[in-house]
Amino acid sequence: MSGNLTRDVVLVAHGSPDSRHARDIDALIRRVAGRAPHLRVTAAYLDHHGPSVADVGTAYSMGVGPIILVPVLLTRAFHTRVDIPDAAEGLGQASGRAVITAEALGPHSLVATAVRELLRHRQERQVVVFLAGSSRRAAIEELVEQLRAALGPERSYAFATLDGYLPLAGAVRDLGGPAGVVGVAGMIAQGVLRDRMVSQCAEHGVPFADGVLAQTDALAELTLLRIGAARPTA
């Protein structure tokens, strides 16, 4: 394919009843598009609101070449393993074009870079990385292992999940108590889940860092890496 030809990319995110979620995905799209003007990047959502993959597929039906679908997800859990293949099929049917599915954004070392970016203005040296959680425990363990390996020695880190699999109280205890500890959201976009993280940390006397991963340069870099590495499956 010619390097001068616009390539169509669809970032497929979970969706949320909270409008902040879509605003953050739009912010990620602007960062990606600003770095790669040869890409036409659009968001689609799995749930709660549009545009759906069918909506985007219809809009892209007059284009040429394959569409690259990027799962805006951090783990290889249910959405990545089940919903994304279904979304790719629906996108292909609606557009009449081939669809290349990139790897999900996480796990990857650049997720850790994005977390450090959210912490760059914080003075605390001990951090609780708060994750949403998943019923597929292996997916959470994989993400935590990748983060532990890539976050670096400058700070001490512990991990908590909203579903209680990794309890917040245990994470704070592992860091020696709440003094000098800050929480940070291992979340792509804002919404009610991040609000719950902030509230639970406050109950433990732990302040919370501003922002979410979609607002970082590192996540835009990771998105471009996934787009560039996307190849048709056999």
DSSP string, 89-142: HHHHHHHTS-EEEPPPS-S-HHHHHHHHHHTTT---SEEEEEE---S-HHHHHH
In CATH, what number does 7-105+216-229 get? 3.40.50.1400
SS3 of residue 217 by DSSP: helix
So what's the pLDDT on residue 234?
A: 53
The 10s digit of each residue's pLDDT in 101-136 is 999 999 999 999 999 999 999 999 999 999 999 989
Residues forming beta bridges with residue 8, ordered by sequence position:
40
> Where are the strands (E) in the chain, listed by range?
7-13, 39-45, 67-71, 99-101, 126-131, 156-161, 181-185
Other Cβ atoms within 10 Å of 54 Cβ, number:
16
Are the CB atoms for 206 and 181 separated by under 8 Å?
yes
Instruction: Name the residue among 97, 101, 77, 76 with its Cα closest to residue 87.
Output: 101
| pLDDT for the residue numbered 6 | 82
More confident residue, 29 or 79: 29
| Global pTM value | 0.95
Mean pLDDT of 62-84: 91
- Position 191 confidence tier, pLDDT thresholds 50, 70, 90: very high
Q: Where are the domains of the chain?
A: 7-105+216-229, 109-214
Mean pLDDT of 53-78: 94
Choose between 234 and 118: higher pLDDT: 118
**To the nearest 5 percent, what fractions of the chain are helix, strand and coil?**
45, 15, 40
Least confident of 86-90, 106-110, 168-172, 230-234: 230-234
**Residue 65, beta-bridge partner list:** none
Q: Are 65 and 8 in contact (CB under 8 A)?
A: yes
pLDDT for res 2: 39
Average pLDDT, stretch 76-85? Answer: 86
Mean pLDDT in residue range 16-39:
96
- CATH fold for the domain made of 109-214: Rossmann fold (3.40.50)
Contacts of 82 (CB under 8 A, 6+ apart): none
Partnered with residue 208 across adjacent β-strands are 183
214 secondary structure, DSSP code: G
Q: Do the domains spanning 7-105+216-229 and 109-214 agree at the CATH topology level?
A: yes
pLDDT at 226: 98
Q: Taking all residues of the chain, what is their mean pLDDT, rounded to a whole number? A: 95
Q: Quick one: pLDDT at residue 76?
A: 87
Query: Which has more confidence, 233 or 148?
Result: 148
Residue 24: which pLDDT band, with cuts at 50, 70 and 90?
very high
- What average pLDDT does this structure show over 198-212? 98
